[in-house]
Structure 1
Amino acid sequence: MQLPPEPSNVAHALAAAFPTRLAGDVESVLAVMPEARLAPTTPFEVDVQGETVAIPSRIYNEEPSPDPERPPLAGTQQVILHCLYSRHSDGRVRQRHLEQIVASGEPWVVPFVVQLAGEYVLEIIEAIGRGLPGLGVPGSAQRRLYGEFIARNPAFFARTERRVVSYWSCYYRWKYGAFGTYPGYVLLEAFRAGAVEQVGTQWPRHTPHLAGGRG
């Protein structure tokens, strides 16, 4: 029988997902989260405006229950909560919390969204596309935000591209015969356009080259 993880270890792992300046807000969020039944799984590291954060691949905490006697979380704290639960082991929970953060302009939210673009739940990929209409607008705040993050994290984005192709080929090729028609491809191209705007040159591609190609 697997023992529950030490709460202090879980707290440390979840706090590492955010810039250190948010430590107080993260502590407030962790105080309302039920104890995890399993430890968070292997984190992925990314650079957020010059600071390395380590975001868990999955968390296993149940969602907090409503408590009228508990002071409500402040705005930033609510965003942190939604970010953490966008890493939940249940895809429905991930989607529900993603939809609360996808339009955020906070740079530390961006890696949570981009990671979900490289996962297998199509409804989540579609939700990202709906929540980021500015990605398709040259010079927009959303395009600059995501372009700057990708420019700082080329290896992470390359891994995301490969995952998108892999999940399309494995799960969705029957529905989207050409990779260029798959919503994940459309999203990757929008992200790439943001990176190109930031660096002023072409960005390496780790997906099929032709929108109509067979992959």
Structure 2
Amino acid sequence: MYAAFPKDLKEAVSKVFNLILNDTYNKAIDGESPDRVEYLLGDSIVQIPYRIYYIDNSNSFINDLNSMEKMILHCIYSRSDDGFVRQKHLKSLLSMEYEDWAIPYIVKICDEYIVEILEMTYVILRQQDTERIKKFCHQNRVSFCKSYNRMISYWNEFYRNEHKNFKQYIGRKLFRECLGYSRVMENKQT
């Protein structure tokens, strides 16, 4: 989990991670999937687990954490295998004055298939200044464009009949209005 955050947060990440139960959903052997998503964050690379399987026990200790530790906690659980847990922690993260190192977690969840999470994220982000997020997405243009295409695939598979006009689909609006996607980004991939 340490590779998922900047190195200077190691002590805080360790504190938070040690509070998380080792109990996992469906008795998963490993608490984290081996798959990682890499992003450039400033001059460093962070490697975020695609999913974590730890049961959310954060209600038992969250009030004992400072704001930075809470932000780390919300980032970790935004990768949960349970969509309700992801949504709960993303909502908490978006309600904070989040640091730049939390942005990869926000962006990653936007390419997933649960439309209720996309709707919630759009409603919150459209009320915020998202220039830092757009800068991050531009810096990670190749992976960001893959995320955009992944969002389209989920729309096509799960939501095309319900949301026939892709231009009005919440995922497209989220990527374009809040995250800064444009067709030009795909043309500049190198």
Within 5 A, what are the aligned runs for 1:15-164?
Answer: 15-35=2-22, 36=24, 37-39=28-30, 40-41=32-33, 42-64=35-57, 66-67=59-60, 72-103=64-95, 104-134=97-127, 142-164=129-151
**2:8 and 2:172 mapped to 1: Cα distance?**
35
Cα shift at 1:156: 1.2
Cα shift at 1:15: 1.4
TM-score by length of 2: 0.86
**Cα distance change of structure 1 residues 171 and 146 upon mapping to structure 2, 3 Å threshold:** same
Q: Contact 1:192/1:203 (CA < 8 Å) preserved in 2?
A: no
Cα shift at 1:47: 0.8
**Cα distance change of structure 1 residues 174 and 72 upon mapping to structure 2, 3 Å threshold:** same
Cα shift at 1:106: 0.9
Q: Contact 2:126/2:178 (CA < 8 Å) preserved in 1?
A: no
- Name stretches of at least 5 consecutive residues in structure 2 with no aligned partner: none
1:90-129, CA deviations, whole angstroms, 9 ceiling, x for partnerless residues?
A: 1111101110012443111111111111000001001111
Tell me the secondary structure at the aligned position of residue 130 of structure 2. Answer: helix
Tell me the secondary structure at the aligned position of residue 40 of structure 2. Answer: strand
**1:182 and 1:151 mapped to 2: Cα distance?**
22
Cα shift at 1:63: 1.4
Tell me the secondary structure at the aligned position of residue 79 of structure 2. Answer: coil
TM-score by length of 1: 0.77
**2:118 and 2:58 mapped to 1: Cα distance?**
27
Q: Contact 1:105/1:145 (CA < 8 Å) preserved in 2?
A: no
2:184 is aligned to 203
1:190 is aligned to 177
Cα shift at 1:33: 0.4
Counterpart residue identity of residue 185, structure 2 = P
RMSD across aligned positions (CA): 2.2
Tell me the secondary structure at the aligned position of residue 177 of structure 2. Answer: helix
Cα shift at 1:175: 1.1
**1:112 and 1:204 mapped to 2: Cα distance?**
20
Q: Is residue 172 from structure 1 mapped to residue 159 from structure 2 by the alignment?
A: yes
**Cα distance change of structure 1 residues 205 and 177 upon mapping to structure 2, 3 Å threshold:** farther
Cα shift at 1:87: 0.3
Q: Give the paired residue count.
A: 180
- Name stretches of at least 5 consecutive residues in structure 1 with no aligned partner: 1-13, 136-141, 197-201, 207-215
**2:47 and 2:158 mapped to 1: Cα distance?**
28
